[in-house]
Structures are given as structure tokens and as C-alpha cells.
Structure 1
Amino acid sequence: METQKQQTKQWLGFLMAFTGGCLWGFSGACSQFLFTYKNLTSDWLVPWRLMIAGTLMVVILILRKGREAFAIWRNPRHVRLLILFGLLGISGCQYSYLTSIQYSNAGTATVLQYLGPALIMLYMCIRTRRAPRPVEIIVLLLDLTGIFLIATHGSFHSLALSSQALFWGLLGAVFVAIYTVSPVTLLANYDSFAVVGWGMFVGGIAVMLWQQPWRTPVVLDGEAIFFIGCVIVFGSVLAFTLYVEGVRHIGPSIVGLISSIEPVSAALFTVFWLGVTLTVADLLGFACILLTIVLLALRK
């Protein structure tokens, strides 16, 4: 009976992590749809996404935890870390990711963002003052090969990807690394839902004040409102909740491996829903970068 319950828990965790990754990919495709067909921009969408999603997560947190939901604000050092996480981790990650989608497509932007784990690995090598191990060297070479194939389609003379898309995609990978490393102390002391919820809320306020999206005139029809809701509810609140619950059931290492379904799902949505054409070079570049995720997860 105990073995059966454990197996059920593992399958439930797998399903949650898998669904969360697919929802993140779907969210990226929804953002691309809004940029392409509804004339929205990342400058407008990111502030509203972070602000509304952060508010929803904080409300859920308060309903679950009561006064304990505000515990993170009682420690000045943790408040500083939270603000850093919200500004550079969450806001930087979301803004660079959606801007990269705006200049390219959801599949390409998502794959470029997955260079983040390799940057974390490189950062740890520098921090601990050690040379990269053989598997880490392979990971770096695969990442560089993947970037080259996606950006140039194998040509040394021209870019197949716009310079803006490449810049924001690579910057997104840097922010993913910051997003992963910066909240370590907070996650050791608080519930992960609380850390990300408050971080998203803080980041939303900051990007709102920076971009002031209410000053930008937009025309929203029912279809645009529906897909904005999908980005906020499915791509932020629900996807993260499922991901965290997956970690609770089967652990971060396995969930990290399962999460590689996100760029795959984003690419599939862009191809079969939005009609984006991916070349052989794109697919080989995607495969190189996704293989690094597998290697890093297996190393753990």
C-alpha cells in the first residue's frame, strides 16, 4: 500500500511538472500571438502581467497563510534580497524573454533563455576557483554551437536572427541565472510560493513605474483580453503553482529535467498554431541547447 501511494505521488508530481512546463510554452506562444496580431508590445504586456499575476499570488498566499504571509517583510536583510530578486530576477527575466519573443518567436526565445543553467555552472566554477569538468566543457561547447546555429543558420557571414532578438534572448539567459541564484537564502527560510509571489509583486510595481503602460493607447478586443488572461493565469499563476507542487512531490532535480518540455512545447505551438517555419539549423541548435539541460540534470 505504501509503495502504491509513493508511485501515485511520483506520477502526480511528474504530471504537475510536465503540465507546468507546457503551460509556460503555451504562454510564450500566446504572447507572440498578441505581439503579431494585436499590436501589443512587451513594454505594455510585461508590467500588466507581473502586476496582476503578482497580486493574485499574494492574495492566494494571504488566504493560505494569514499574517504569516508577511513574514518575509520583517527581516531587513531578506527585504533587500527580495527587492533584488524582484527587480533583476523576475522583472529582468520576464521583460527580456517577452521582448525576445517580440523580435523573434516563442520557441527561439525560450530556447535561448535555457542557456541560463550553463551560465550558472560557469559562475559556480569561477566562484569556487576550479576548472570546468569534462561534462561542463561539453555543455559549454554545445551551448555555443546551439547559439551559432540559431543565430546564423550555419553561415559565418550573416545573422539569420535579428540582433535585437539575439541580444534580448542572451540577456534573458543572464537574468535566468540571476533568477535562479539570487533567492537561495530566501528559499531556505520561506515558502517558494511566497518568495516568487512577493518577488513578482515587487517586480510588477517597478516595471509599472518604469514603463507606465497606462499611457500607451491600445485597442483590446475580446480575443486580446482572452489571451492576456491566458498569459497571466496559465503562464504565471497556474504554471508556477504546478511547478512548485511538482518539486514538492518528486524533487528539484527530476523536475528540472522535466521542465525542458517548455522550449519543446513553445516551439510546437509556434509551428502548428502560429505557422512559424523552423529550419534544420534551428532544430539542430534547439537540440544542442536542450541536450545541455539533460546533461546538467544527469550530473546532479
Structure 2
Amino acid sequence: RAATAAVLFLALVLATRREALLSLLGSRAARRTLMLFGVGLYLSQITYAISIEMTNAGTATVLQATCTVFVMLFTCLRARRLPRPTDFAGLVAALAAAALIATQGDWGVIVLPAAGLAWSIANALSETLYIMAPQRLYGRWDRVTIIGVGMVVSGVAAAIVWLAAAAASLSPAPGAASLVPELDAVGWLALIGGVGVLGTFAAFGLFLYGVSLVGSVRGSLLGVAEPVGAMVIAAVWLGTPFSAADWGGLVLMAAMIALVSLSGSREKR
């Protein structure tokens, strides 16, 4: 997924924003920030996958949403101010909605072994890194170019780790999955098209562009709406019925979006 997104973003930037790319890469400070941004993107993807393996999808999703707490905390510390009441209320609503949808109201599904908790916290912190790191670049350079370079760095980081694992012969034991998945043509299409193009190039690209417009706090809060998207797609595409927990999470998420929008409109006045 990282390699697919990197290739697509590189092609997009080279075809449409070559001058902006040269300007961006000409700044030493920008290059350092872009490295942090790209590494954060890569770490967020790999730590989320590992946290799911160590716990389960519901637990990992709930703990991933805590990145909004870290984003708000670091933003307030940097600005030396308390959270805005509407942003804080939106944070509470977002976390409650994510938890309700991910657990379906059954808190017994939350599994928190020490290793799983550590990887989940690492996932939330890596998301905080890639959300906040490029914020100061957005007002000076082209947003799409910044996102594209970050994705390329992420793809290179993923390739380095993969090649290092292969060189060190860290292949799993016989019978387990290998470093290269054994997929048929449909499987590779789903992996590249579904996960790489739609799930990374399009989804990450749109999310990061939105964050560049609304800021790190509101962007991270709105990003927590991901479980709602999954819920709606499951209902429309797979025919999965809405549960009471889904409806409750949807209402809370709508409240969060309203609170974040209210905060943004007041700030512009």
C-alpha cells in the first residue's frame, strides 16, 4: 500500500507540480520536516496493523482514536492555552462514538495485553506525528506537493524495512505467511486497487489535504469519523443492519462534526 501510494503521488507531483517540488526540496528545514512526516505516515500504518494483531480490530480502532487527545494536548501546549470548550466537547463525542461503534456497546471485547497497548499507543503517537509535523509547511508551499513527498518518504521507509527483513532472512516459520503474500490475480487487484489506490492514495491523500485546510485539531477529530464510513458502507454494500450502538455512535459523531464546525465558524468571525 505504501509503495502504490508513493508511485502514484510521485507521478502526480512530477506531472503537475514540478516547480513546487523543486522549491520545497530546496529548503533544508522543509526536508527535515518532510522526513518526520513520511516516517510518521509509515509508522501509523505498520503499528495499526500490529496493534490489530496484538489485540483485535475493535480495540485497535478505539485506541487509534486517542490520537485526537495527543493532537489536542500538543497543540494546546505549543500555544500555551487550554482547549476550546467546543473542541473539547467534540473530542469527548468523537471518542465515545468510536468506542461505541467499534465495540457495539460490549466492553468485554476490549482486549488490552501489555504488548497490544504499547503498539496501540505507538500507533496513536505516530498518527499525531504525521498530522502535526507538516502544519507549518502548508502555509508556505503547495499542499499536494507536501503530501506527495510525505507519501514517497513513507513508501521508501516501507521498502527499506521490507528489504532489511528479507536480507536478514526474517521469514516466518514454514506454514506462516511469507514476506510476499501468495495471492491470485483477484487478490493482487484487491490489494493494489483496494488497499493501495483507494485505501491509501485516495483516502490518506484526501484526509491529509483536509487536515491542511482545517488544522491538526479539527482534522484529527473529523478523522475519527472513519468508523462511521465503514458502518455505512457495510450497511449499503454488504447489507449489514444498523444496530442500536451504530445509531448511537452516528448521533455522537454528528454532534462532534457540529461542534467542530461551530468552533471553526466562531474562529473566523
Give the CA RMSD over aligned residues. 4.0
Q: Does 1:225 align with 2:225?
A: no
How many residue pairs match? The answer is 245
Which of residues 186, 199, 215 is equivalent to 2:137?
186
* Superimposed CA distance per residue, residues 160-208 of structure 1 (whole angstroms, 9 cap, x where no aligned partner): 1333776655544433332221101222222111111111111111122
Partners of 2:184 and 2:207 in 1: CA distance: 31
Write the mapping of 1:132-211 to structure 2, written as runs, cut at 5 A: 132-143=83-94, 145-146=96-97, 149=100, 159-163=108-112, 171-211=122-162
**Runs of 5+ consecutive residues of structure 2 not aligned to the other structure:** 172-178, 265-269
Residue of structure 2 equivalent to 1:54? 6
Using the TM superposition, name which of 272-281 and 74-83 deviates more. Answer: 272-281
SS at match of 1:163: coil
In structure 1, runs of 5+ residues without a counterpart are: 1-48
2:268 paired with 1:268: no
Aligned residue in 2 for 1:297? 261
Counterpart CA distance in 2 for 1:97 and 1:145 is 20
Measure the CA separation in 2 of the matches of 1:260 and 1:278.
19
TM-score in terms of structure 1 length: 0.63
Letter in 1 for 2:111: S
Moved more, 139-148 or 191-200: 139-148
CA offsets per residue over residues 234-277 of structure 1, 9 Å max, x none?
Answer: 223344566688899xx648x95986764322123346656888
Which residue in the other structure is 2:22 paired with? 70
C-alpha distance in structure 1 between counterparts of 2:261 and 2:46, whole Å: 26
- 1:97–1:172 CA contact under 8 A, matched in 2: yes
Q: Say which of 197, 201, 210 aligns to 1:237.
A: 201
- Structure 2 Cα separation of the partners of residues 97 and 63 of structure 1: 32
The one-letter code matched in structure 1 to 2:82 is A
Q: Alpha-carbon deviation of 1:142?
A: 3.5
Structure with more relative contact order (C-alpha pairs < 8 Å, separation 6 or more):
1
Q: Name the % identity.
A: 30
1:55 CA displacement: 1.8
Change (3 A) 1:167 1:274: farther
Any idea what SS the aligned residue of 2:110 has? Answer: coil
Structure 2 counterpart of 1:225, one-letter code: W
Change in CA separation of 1:177 and 1:297 when aligned onto 2, cut-off 3 Å: farther
Q: Distance in 1 between matches of 2:225 and 2:89?
A: 22
